[in-house]
Amino acid sequence: EKGGYPHFMLKEIFEQPRSILDSMRGRLVAENTQLTMSSIREYATRFKNADRIIIVACGTSWHAGLVAEYMIEEFARIPVEVEYASEFRYRNPVIREGDIVVAISQSGETADTLAALELAKSKGALIFGVCNVVGSSIARATDAGAYTHAGPEIGVASTKAFTAQVTVLSLIAMMLAEMRGTMETSALRQMMMEMEQIPAKVEKALQLDKEIQAISEIFKDATNFIYLGRGFNFPVALEGALKLKEISYIHAEGYPAAEMKHGPIALIDENMPVVVIATKDSSYEKIVSNVQEVRARKGRVIAIVTEGDTVIPQMAEFVIEVPAAHEALMPLISVIPLQLLSYHIAVMRGCNVDQPRNLAKSVTVE
Ligand code: M6R
């Protein structure tokens, strides 16, 4: 059942070129700039006139929501708020009829996410679900939705469900841009073509496995890790840190790179591994300075860079090169080395990666 892999997690990491393709299948034909998602079309007027989109989710799904916030605001110019379902449901949130609430959940059974959407529904918002498990409670409670089609995810640490969520959410962002006329047709087509190339690029990123295993060996006994990213890669930093803590039990924190100087920089010394996602995008120059700040305090930088980068390799102790992609889609690629890094470190530490302590695959209690 593990398809020859020692753990479900590794199998699921390696399934991603395929699962991302499955999430796009029948929904994207770049050649003729065609996007199909009947559930969005069905509520076209609501989506077109939406005042605001509120995303509710927990854990990794919340990270996918953050990526979606950046994409939807950039492409479709709709204000987006991303909420932890558990906080949202208990704080008497302002919900208006023109709001659309998007609930993201792999299992479709997360108690807080379900309760948050029920609350929003009672206030008249349209509820849209992005779930992986077909027929799950959240999928049934929504007005409409799009399944992620990642296939069953057994490992407690979410991997292919995350990339499937980001894929579906990026298609939604593109559809909204098309419906609202906020993106030129040529730019939209370009974006769709970029999307079609993602599975092959993920495949390429997976070939870094051995290299990442070697880096993992060096850092397996670390007691802390910091993950930094900016823009679209900021949620990836959070996701990388979550992956590491949940399966290897190493304390890790993800931060927007610029926020570091407002506190966490005090933690940096020669014993602190700092994973920096520094791919070529609109915040590249800024992240170069952030890497310098870490180096100046002797932090041990492991940088995820775009293939061919010549600047960061001179500054970082370890460099992992991933294929170039449009910055909005980079999370689908930059997360791969981070999944592998946490996996290998956890295995080397003798942890039960598929069933980490204290955790369950779906959190059905609040
Ligand atoms: O099934 P859901 O997507 O609603 O689950 C949400 C979180 O419990 C989940 O993402 C959790 O954080 C994972 N273990 C992360 O790997």
Is 229 within 8 Å of 257 (Cβ atoms)? yes
pLDDT score at 176: 96
Q: Which residues are annotated as catalytic?
A: 361
In terms of residues, how long is the chain? 366
Tell me the pLDDT tens digit for each residue of 303-324. Answer: 999 999 999 999 999 999 999 9
Question: Which of 246, 362, 364, 366 has the most ligand 1 atoms within 8 A of CB, as the residue to mutate?
Answer: 362
Give the pocket of ligand 1 (CB within 6 Å). Answer: 58-61, 105-107, 110, 113, 156-158, 242, 246, 362-363
Q: Is the pTM of this model over 0.90?
A: yes
Helix (H) / strand (E) containing 229: strand 224-229
pLDDT score at 31: 84
pLDDT score at 34: 87
User: How large is the ipTM?
Assistant: 0.99
pLDDT score at 335: 98
Q: Which residues of 123-151 are buried (b: 16+ CB within 10 A; e: fewer)?
A: eebbbbbbbbbeebbbbebbbbbbbbbbe
Tell me the pLDDT tens digit for each residue of 116-143. Answer: 999 999 999 999 999 999 999 999 999 9
Is 265 within 8 Å of 293 (Cβ atoms)? yes
Instruction: Report the separation in Å between the CA atom of 241 and the middle of ligand 1, taken as the mean of its atom positions.
Output: 14
pLDDT score at 18: 98
pLDDT score at 216: 98
pLDDT score at 30: 83
Instruction: Report the separation in Å between the CA atom of 150 and the middle of ligand 1, taken as the mean of its atom positions.
Output: 14
Question: Which of 9, 63, 107 has the most ligand 1 atoms within 8 A of CB, as the residue to mutate?
Answer: 107
Count CB atoms within 10 A of the CB of residue 25: 9
**Which residue stretches of the chain have pLDDT < 50?**
none
